[in-house]
């Protein structure tokens, strides 16, 4: 691990939301239960490092981002920034120095821009609120600079525009400019390109990568897309049901995953394969259980094709499986073999019979999985309530 | 900020405003409502030029309860005053009461509703219980209770903030009883705005709660406040009329409601003096209708999507 | 199911289809001269960005154009017969029983106050004239078909997860035994693992029922996974059409190339972001000539003035001046 302890560190971070019970529950004082959105996460981000947080919806990846940007408050664990404990800091004025250095980019740029503010006001807002400029000339300079580095040129043309007058890509650039305006050291980007057209995505990614290269800005990139994470990140952290299941260098996670969930995620990702015919890998069955009813033992065991008795009883700790590579799986050592097996099954050189054996083996394991868990209702978003 | 920046920013705002006005003025209901309203505003602004000074029993010129004629276009009342003269002078009182009461109601309602919706939890609980209290309070009872007290303290001849006490009481009573409606609407709108991502963005940008409420939530509430404000005016005119009709008005500054009350007690209905009851009644109806029309037009302009839903 | 009687002849033919929208007095051409054929049991992916006309094309085929849209030229033929695609009432017998649609937002398309089994049984009753009991039995059968235990049918839509709701949508689309299913971004709102499950389900249903599928998506890799053929659309026109294997191995149109390059592909091992310059085209003032030329890295003089026709090229079709079928044209263009 690089010496990252002095920048951003999450220690056993925990965000539990109480479930609001009905009137009767409240009157009778019945406990309605908790949603364990984030359930003990350790993560370091180094200066100038790009870390991707990958997971499905309900994995808690967005909540982690909101804790770091102080939009959600942890119920346990610590958030350390340059060694300072930021866990319980609250209030706009107390957080001003922190906000100056940690900013956020949102997924839906249309929602993230106040429809009644002009682009200038939007980008100027953090500069004004954090009192980073002395006069209006300086303000206009900083706004221009931010718009230009987000790729909106010439900046002056955009000052007076309203969000609805911009294209989707331009809106996302305005959101980025708003975050850049204060020259932060860490940006949390929550699915910044998932709502954009394919041809615009790469442009926005380029802007983000340039920021790191030019200003040594660290980036926590939250996404559901493993190949995208591989493309942009130095390290990838894979989340499942509020827990980190695997973390390591982008190449290691992509080519040498050591957790069955990462393997499943990677198999499920649609791929552009050149010159290879379609070979159906067994899709992982079932769906992510609700964060209010987390399975006992390893939380992935009901869907895991490799689950053994131990997985049903004991929660596996994260263990080192390689340089800078941690996996929380009792059978992490065997995952490698298995993923190789699957990898072999994918290439056309394997005998059809063997291929069938592999896939039926995995299928059987899948079948013994969670038909009970399938189709759990969507819970209300834990942050926003019902 | 450089000169050109300021210019281009104001250009953006002007463009948005122009767009809004064009849409709003193109609305048929808005045209009719505005036309009526302008008519009554002129009446309220310069009654002396239109119909001469307010007639009293002393300077009355006509017969008792004379029907409309070329001399008295809307006939006369039971002491011989010209009804047209009374109605035009009544417009000022009625509109003043209604508009001031609406201002009070909007300010209180918006503040309470926005605070409750934004902070939520116990703030919301307590403010909404308070709102419920005012929501169910009948304006008549409140007026009946407050008026004697205020009159006792001030005396009939005194003035409060430039208003005669009975007028002041009516304004305050209407304001107090109508804000709860505004607060409910503003709160529900704030609850949904609070969840929007741009509020999160403002928080990450370091804006304080007050600044988020004033700069982000309030501007997005303007459509609701404006559209419902017009409806509150219409309601206020009715309440004012009813209160005055019950005799809580000021006989020295007759509003339309006072006129109706006078007509009633003079037995206009049984005497067949339709003009005496009809003229102020029609005014009340027209003004509240025009405010309702304007309110609906504002709502349509701000919410073009709503038109799709029948 | 009846498609198996047909030989490999076209099930659906779209011929020179153009659709315009009237908007505030403006007339916007959403699709322009779109032609293609769909065979029984075939899966076509319609790929493009927002405003490329992919959704308009599909909605025109299903006769679901919005009231302000007008078919300005061309026609759609189903089993050789012309479809009255701009007449909602005349399309009604055809829709759902021959062509059905799976929409993106499953939550909006389901009525929240009815149990899902009732919502699936309803079209069976209305369209196929089944009895109440027969329709319910059919609904249970359909639920099993899309991998939902029939007993879950008594749930309300909000009690189901996103993936389950999308399965219900598919069951409803299959209720009247159509031969074509149009999927309008059916997996866009879903997680990757659920997306894989739904795509797999669609593939299985296709071979079981000999369904033809038109998959509308912005995601090329989904098409690579689930389709036989791809059509790339840009600014209302088809710019390239070919088999999945061909297009991903050897894309011809520069736009297709750039799109494929912009998909992160660890298998290639090259970590490089290749942005496509410029913004997606604006339908109000479409660029002259080839609509892609302002963003095209290999544009030549003729691209700005003359629109390239969609010509046969190898196995597929491509609309690009750099890939004219006759060599003379190419030489002439360079000269």
Residues C153 and C293 in one domain: no
Average pLDDT for runs of 10 along chain C of length 335: 48 90 81 90 89 88 86 89 83 84 76 86 80 86 86 85 86 87 86 84 87 90 87 91 88 89 77 79 80 86 84 82 60 50
Residues A14 and A81 in one domain: yes
Chain A: give the shortest CA distance to residue C191, in Å: 6
Give the domain extent around C172.
106-177
Q: Cis peptide leading into C180, omega within 30 of 0?
A: no
Which residues are CB-neighbours of C3 under 8 A, at least 6 positions away?
C11, C40, C41, C179, C210, C211, C212
Tens of pLDDT along B232-266?
888 888 888 888 877 777 777 788 888 888 888 87
- A118 contacts in chain B (CB < 8 Å): 9, 12-13
Residues C126 and C139 in one domain: yes
CB pairs under 8 A between A and B: 94
Q: Does C199 touch chain A (CB under 8 A)?
A: yes
Instruction: Give dist(CA C167, CA B51) in Å, integer.
Output: 75
Tens of pLDDT along B10-57?
666 677 778 778 878 888 888 888 998 898 888 888 877 777 777 766
Helix, strand, coil in percent for chain B, rounding step 5:
80, 0, 20
Instruction: Give dist(CA C212, CA C62) in Å, integer.
Output: 13
pLDDT at B116: 92
Tally of domains in chain A: 2
Is A335's pLDDT higher than 90? no
Of A264, A271, A280, the CB nearest to C221: A271
- A117 contacts in chain B (CB < 8 Å): 215, 219
Residues C159 and C183 in one domain: no
Q: Does A203 touch chain C (CB under 8 A)?
A: yes
B198 to A69: CB separation less than 8 angstroms, yes or no: no
Q: Which two tokens stand for residue C258?
A: 């750039």
Q: What is the mean pLDDT of residues A4-11?
A: 78
Q: Does B242 touch chain A (CB under 8 A)?
A: no
Average pLDDT value over all residues in chain A: 78
3-state SS string over C148-193?
Answer: CCHHHHHCCHHHCCHHHHHHHHHHHHHCCCCCEEEEECCCCCCCHH
Q: Does C220 touch chain A (CB under 8 A)?
A: yes
pLDDT at B158: 65
Q: What proportion of chain B, given as a percentage, has pLDDT over 70? A: 87
Residues A84 and A183 in one domain: yes
Residues A204 and A319 in one domain: no
Residues of chain A numbered 6-45 and touching chain C (CB < 8 Å): none
The CATH number of residue C74's host domain is 3.40.50.300
Specify the length of chain A in residues.
Answer: 386
Q: Are B and C touching by the rule of 3+ CB pairs within 8 Å?
A: no
* Assigned domain for A380 exists: no
- A275 contacts in chain C (CB < 8 Å): 245, 249
* Assigned domain for A138 exists: no
* Assigned domain for A257 exists: no
Q: Does C161 touch chain A (CB under 8 A)?
A: yes
Cβ contact B246:B142 at 8 Å: no
ipTM: 0.82
* Assigned domain for A134 exists: no
Instruction: Give dist(CA C65, CA A51) in Å, integer.
Output: 44
> What are the strands of the beta sheet with A319-322, ordered from one edge?
A102-105, A186-190, A218-223, A50-54, A235-240, A243-249, A325-327, A319-322
Cβ contact C172:C140 at 8 Å: no
Residues C235 and C295 in one domain: yes
Residues C125 and C145 in one domain: yes
Q: What is the mean pLDDT of residues A283-307?
A: 81
Residue predicted with more confidence, C55 or B67 = C55
Is A237's pLDDT higher than 90? yes
- Residue whose token pair is 């006309």: C53
Q: Which two tokens stand for residue C105?
A: 């937002």
Q: Chains near B, with 3+ CB pairs < 8 A? A: A
pLDDT at B51: 75
- C194 contacts in chain A (CB < 8 Å): 56, 287
Residues C77 and C217 in one domain: yes
C273 to A371: CB separation less than 8 angstroms, yes or no: no
Residue closest to C119 by CA, chosen among C181, C165, C161, C86: C165
Residue closest to B20 by CA, chosen among A171, A123, A162, A112: A162
* Assigned domain for A341 exists: yes
Of A254, A272, A283, the CB nearest to C196: A283
Tens of pLDDT along A51-84?
999 998 888 899 999 999 999 889 988 898 888 8
Residues A42 and A185 in one domain: yes
A377 to C194: CB separation less than 8 angstroms, yes or no: no
* Assigned domain for A28 exists: yes
Q: Which two tokens stand for residue A80?
A: 């350390």
Cβ contact C211:C41 at 8 Å: yes
Is B173's pLDDT higher than 80? yes
pLDDT at A296: 86
Instruction: Give dist(CA A235, CA A218) in Å, integer.
Output: 12
Instruction: Give dist(CA B87, CA B90) in Å, integer.
Output: 5
Tell me the backbone φ, ψ of residue C298, rounded to 5 degrees: -115, 30
Residues A201 and A282 in one domain: no
Residues C126 and C76 in one domain: no
Residues A202 and A310 in one domain: no
Task: Assign domain B32-44+94-308 to a CATH class.
Answer: mainly alpha
Tens of pLDDT along A129-159?
888 888 888 898 899 989 988 888 888 888 8
Is B154's pLDDT higher than 80? no
The CATH number of residue A95's host domain is 3.40.50.300
Q: Which residues pair with A190 in a beta bridge?
A: A222
Which residues are CB-neighbours of A349 under 8 A, at least 6 positions away?
none
Is A345's pLDDT higher than 70? no
Residues A354 and A270 in one domain: yes
Q: How many CA atoms lie within 13 A of C333 on its CB side?
A: 22
Q: Does C266 touch chain A (CB under 8 A)?
A: yes
- A167 contacts in chain C (CB < 8 Å): 279-280
Q: What is the pTM of this model?
A: 0.80
Residue C73: its H or E element: strand C69-78
Q: Which two tokens stand for residue C37?
A: 């054929």
Lowest mean pLDDT among A280-284, B100-104, B111-115: A280-284
For A171-211, the DSSP string reads: HHHHHHHHHHTT--SEEEEESTTTTS-HHHHHHHHHHHHHH
Chain A: give the shortest CA distance to residue B64, in Å: 59
- C273 contacts in chain A (CB < 8 Å): 202, 205-206, 209, 231-232
* Assigned domain for A151 exists: no
pLDDT band at B114 (very low <50, low <70, confident <90, very high): very high
Residues C193 and C172 in one domain: no
Residues A211 and A307 in one domain: no
Give the domain extent around A214.
8-114+177-240
Residue closest to A92 by CA, chosen among C85, B157, B215: B215
pLDDT at A29: 62
Tally of domains in chain C: 2
Count of C-beta atoms within a 10 Å radius of residue B21: 11
């Amino acid at each position: 691990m690089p010496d990252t302890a002095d920048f951003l560190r999450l220690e056993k971070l925990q965000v539990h939301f109480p479930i609001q019970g009905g009137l009767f529950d409240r009157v009778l004082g019945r406990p309605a239960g908790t949603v364990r959105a984030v359930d003990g996460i350790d993560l370091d981000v180094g200066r100038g490092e790009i870390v991707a947080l990958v997971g499905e919806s309900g994995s808690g990846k967005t909540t982690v981002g909101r804790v770091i940007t102080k939009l959600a408050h942890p119920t346990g664990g610590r958030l350390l920034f340059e060694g300072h404990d930021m866990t319980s800091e609250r209030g706009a004025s107390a957080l001003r120095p922190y906000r100056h250095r940690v900013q956020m980019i949102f997924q839906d740029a249309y929602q993230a821009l106040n429809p009644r503010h002009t682009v200038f006001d939007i980008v100027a807002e953090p500069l004004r609120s954090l009192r980073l400029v002395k006069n209006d000339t300086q303000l206009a300079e900083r706004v221009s600079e931010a718009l230009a580095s987000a790729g909106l040129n010439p900046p002056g043309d955009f000052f007076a525009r309203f969000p609805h007058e911009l294209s989707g890509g331009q809106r996302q650039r305005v959101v980025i400019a708003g975050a850049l305006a204060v020259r932060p050291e860490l940006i949390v980007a929550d699915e910044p390109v998932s709502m954009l057209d394919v041809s615009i995505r790469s442009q926005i990614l380029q802007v983000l990568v340039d920021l790191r290269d030019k200003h040594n800005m660290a980036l926590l990139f939250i996404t559901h897309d493993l190949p995208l994470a591989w493309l942009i990140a130095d390290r990838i952290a894979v989340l499942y049901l509020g827990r980190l299941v695997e973390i390591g260098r982008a190449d290691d996670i992509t080519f040498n995953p050591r957790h069955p969930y990462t393997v499943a995620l990677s198999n499920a990702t649609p791929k552009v394969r050149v010159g290879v015919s379609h070979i159906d890998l067994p899709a992982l069955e079932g769906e992510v259980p609700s964060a209010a009813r987390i399975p006992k033992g390893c939380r992935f065991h009901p869907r895991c094709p490799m689950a053994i008795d131990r997985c049903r009883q004991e929660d596996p700790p994260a263990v080192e499986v390689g340089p800078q590579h941690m996996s929380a799986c009792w059978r992490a050592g065997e995952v490698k073999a298995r993923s190789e097996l699957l990898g072999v099954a994918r290439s056309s050189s394997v005998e059809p019979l063997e291929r069938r054996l592999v896939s039926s083996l995995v299928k059987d394991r899948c079948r013994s999985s969670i038909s009970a868990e399938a189709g759990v209702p969507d819970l209300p978003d834990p942050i926003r309530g019902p | 900020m450089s000169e050109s920046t300021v210019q281009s920013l104001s250009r953006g705002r002007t463009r948005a405003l122009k767009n809004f006005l064009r849409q709003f003025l193109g609305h048929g209901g808005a045209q009719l409502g505005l036309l009526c309203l302008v008519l009554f505003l002129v009446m309220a602004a310069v009654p002396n030029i239109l119909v001469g000074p307010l007639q009293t029993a002393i300077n009355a010129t006509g017969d008792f309860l004379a029907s409309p004629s070329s001399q008295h276009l809307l006939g006369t009342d039971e002491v011989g005053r010209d009804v047209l003269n009374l109605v035009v002078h009544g417009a000022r009182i009625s509109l003043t009461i209604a508009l001031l009461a609406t201002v009070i109601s909007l300010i209180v309602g918006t503040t309470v509703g926005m605070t409750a919706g934004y902070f939520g939890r116990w703030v919301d609980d307590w403010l909404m219980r308070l709102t419920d209290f005012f929501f169910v309070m009948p304006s008549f009872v409140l007026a009946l209770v407050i008026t004697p007290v205020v009159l006792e303290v001030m005396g009939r001849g005194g003035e409060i903030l430039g208003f005669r006490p009975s007028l002041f009481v009516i304004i305050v009573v209407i304001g107090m009883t109508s804000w709860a409606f505004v607060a409910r609407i503003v709160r529900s709108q704030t609850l949904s705005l609070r969840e929007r991502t741009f509020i999160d963005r403002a928080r990450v940008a370091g804006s304080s709660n007050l600044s988020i409420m004033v700069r982000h939530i309030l501007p997005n509430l303007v459509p609701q406040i404006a559209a419902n404000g017009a409806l509150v005016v219409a309601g206020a005119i009715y309440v004012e009329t009813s209160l005055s009709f019950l005799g809580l008005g000021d006989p020295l500054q007759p509003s339309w409601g006072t006129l109706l009350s006078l007509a009633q007690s003079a037995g206009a209905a049984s005497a067949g003096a339709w003009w005496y009851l009809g003229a102020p009644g029609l005014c009340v109806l027209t003004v509240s209708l025009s405010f309702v029309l304007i309110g609906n037009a504002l709502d349509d302009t701000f919410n073009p999507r709503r038109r799709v839903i029948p | 199911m009846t498609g198996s009687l047909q030989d490999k002849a076209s099930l659906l033919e779209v011929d020179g289809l153009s659709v315009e929208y009237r908007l505030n007095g403006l007339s916007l051409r959403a699709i322009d001269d779109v032609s293609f054929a769909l065979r029984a049991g075939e899966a076509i992916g319609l790929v493009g960005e927002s405003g490329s006309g992919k959704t308009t094309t599909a909605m025109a085929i299903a006769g679901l154009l919005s009231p302000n849209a007008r078919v300005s030229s061309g026609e759609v033929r189903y089993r050789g017969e012309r479809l009255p695609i701009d007449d909602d009432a005349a399309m009604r017998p055809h829709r759902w029983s021959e062509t059905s649609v799976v929409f993106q937002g499953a939550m909006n398309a389901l009525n929240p106050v009815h149990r899902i089994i009732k919502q699936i049984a309803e079209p069976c009753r209305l369209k196929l004239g089944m009895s109440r009991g027969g329709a319910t039995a059919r609904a249970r059968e359909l639920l099993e078909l899309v991998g939902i235990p029939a007993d879950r049918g008594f749930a309300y839509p909000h009690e189901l997860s996103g993936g389950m709701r999308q399965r219900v949508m598919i069951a409803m689309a299959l209720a009247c035994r159509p031969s074509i299913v149009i999927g309008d971004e059916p997996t866009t709102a879903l997680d990757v693992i659920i997306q894989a499950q739904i795509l797999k389900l669609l593939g299985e249903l296709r071979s079981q029922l000999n369904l033809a599928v038109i998959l509308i998506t912005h995601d090329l890799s989904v098409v690579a996974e689930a389709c036989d053929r791809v059509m790339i659309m840009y600014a209302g026109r088809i710019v390239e059409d070919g088999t999945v294997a061909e297009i991903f191995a050897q894309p011809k149109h520069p736009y297709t190339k750039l799109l494929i390059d912009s998909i992160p592909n660890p298998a290639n091992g090259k970590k490089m972001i290749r942005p496509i310059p410029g913004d997606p085209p604006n339908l109000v003032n479409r660029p002259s000539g080839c609509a892609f030329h302002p963003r095209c890295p290999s544009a030549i003089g003729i691209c700005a003035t003359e629109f390239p026709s969609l010509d046969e090229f190898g196995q597929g079709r491509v609309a690009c001046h750099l890939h004219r079928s006759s060599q003379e044209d190419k030489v002439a263009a360079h000269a």
